[in-house]
């Protein structure tokens, strides 16, 4: 086999951020912006990575020295994944990995998780290993934790399974919701969120106020359970109300920002059923649920208050892979 190509989607969290880190469920949807990976053997005992959009050209590391030194951030997830993959299967035959992304890493669509999943899937095909999705998930999750130290793995699940998923940490449960589309407007707040820092901030908050935070997480869990039912029923009015409730709890968790709140308020005052931040908070995207007929009006209003409307499709396909 000469070359393998894989692509995996980015994601957006609909409900349950932060609580999902503490074993509560969340609902995540895959977006139709993807990270593409090409993998081939290189005849050497080294990993060679090119990610031209990230300014990385022919980054080289001996297979035996993977992750042994400081790594540039742009290749760290790939290097950790390749190391985990080689360790598990005892390979030392080097490979070439080339990546291309449909989206900038600043939007919070999960470029790191998508590149990790696409690389793992491409390598499995290149080295002719039959993985189940759960085995691939476990491998990718270990690599992500090697680099980030924290996280629920919800983004990896979206990249692997695609669609819109009810998810519990470590892929203990992955359940695809039966829907075709979601009438959601996605708006970038203009600020890049620092997810690991926010996760640690909530952990610290929880350490100081365990009762309060556990209570918030329980309420978020109820919203996720209800959200799952209402999304499948397409009762958008109820889904919107749940989004606002979830947003209120994220505010209580201390991860909301003035900019995100302004976008949420604007969306609702221009006719959206509901809106909330998506992801760790502190920035990244806001999502608003609205009728098709209100969409353009809501989008315009959000642009007028500084939001950047992202034309993304949701409920997208999970990782795909082919030989070339």
Would you please indicate which residues are annotated as catalytic (active-site) residues?
155
> Tokens standing for 196?
């690991």
- For 39, 61, 324, the CA distances from 2, given in Å and listed in that order, are 9, 21, 7
Nearer to ligand PMV among residue 193 and residue 289 (C-beta): 193
What's the DSSP call for residue 317? B
Smallest gap from Cβ 108 to ligand PMV, in A, equals 5
Q: What is the Cα–Cα distance from 63 to 59, expressed in whole angstroms?
A: 13
> How many angstroms separate the most distant Cα atoms in the chain?
60
Q: What is the Cα–Cα distance from 111 to 147, expressed in whole angstroms?
A: 14
> CA 294, 300, 301, 302: dihedral to nearest 10 degrees?
110
Nearer to ligand PMV among residue 17 and residue 38 (C-beta): 17
Judging by beta carbons within 10 Å of its beta carbon (0-12, 13-18, 19+), is residue 100 exposed, middle or buried? middle
The binding site for ligand PMV (CB under 6 A) comprises 13, 17-18, 20-21, 108, 110, 151-152, 154-155, 193, 195, 199, 279-280, 284
Smallest gap from Cβ 72 to ligand PMV, in A, equals 20
Nearer to ligand PMV among residue 189 and residue 195 (C-beta): 195
Nearer to ligand PMV among residue 63 and residue 203 (C-beta): 203
Backbone angles phi, psi at 207, to 5 degrees: -65, -35
Give the CA radius of gyration of the chain: 20
Smallest gap from Cβ 20 to ligand PMV, in A, equals 5
Smallest gap from Cβ 199 to ligand PMV, in A, equals 5
């Amino acid at each position: 086999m000469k070359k393998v190509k894989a692509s995996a989607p980015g994601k957006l969290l609909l409900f349950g951020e932060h609580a999902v880190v503490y074993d509560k469920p969340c609902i995540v949807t895959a977006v139709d912006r993807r990270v593409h990976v090409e993998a081939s053997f290189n005849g050497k005992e080294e990993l060679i990575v090119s990610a031209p959009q990230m300014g990385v050209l022919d980054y080289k590391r001996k297979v035996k020295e993977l992750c042994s030194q400081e790594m540039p951030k742009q290749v760290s997830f790939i290097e950790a994944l390749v190391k985990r993959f080689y360790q598990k299967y005892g390979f030392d035959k080097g490979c070439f990995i080339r990546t291309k992304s449909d989206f900038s890493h600043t939007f919070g669509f999960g470029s790191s998780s998508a590149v990790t999943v696409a690389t793992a899937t491409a390598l499995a095909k290149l080295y002719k290993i039959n993985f189940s999705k759960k085995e691939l998930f476990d491998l990718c999750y270990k690599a992500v934790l090697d680099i980030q130290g924290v996280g629920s793995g919800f983004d990896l699940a979206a990249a692997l399974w695609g669609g819109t998923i009810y998810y519990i940490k470590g892929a203990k449960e992955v359940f695809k919701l039966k829907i075709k589309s979601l009438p959601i407007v996605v708006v970038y707040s203009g600020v890049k969120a620092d997810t690991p820092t926010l996760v640690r901030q909530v952990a610290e908050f929880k350490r100081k106020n365990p009762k309060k935070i556990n209570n918030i997480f329980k309420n978020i869990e109820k919203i996720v359970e209800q959200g799952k039912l209402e999304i499948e029923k397409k009762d958008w009015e109820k889904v919107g109300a749940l989004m606002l409730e979830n947003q209120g709890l994220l505010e209580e968790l201390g991860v909301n920002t003035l900019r995100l709140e302004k976008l949420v308020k604007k969306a609702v005052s221009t006719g959206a059923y509901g809106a909330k931040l998506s992801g760790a908070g502190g920035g990244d995207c806001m999502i608003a649920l609205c009728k098709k007929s209100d969409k353009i009006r809501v989008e315009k209003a959000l642009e007028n208050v500084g939001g950047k409307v992202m034309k993304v499709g949701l409920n997208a396909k999970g990782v795909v892979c082919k030989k070339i």
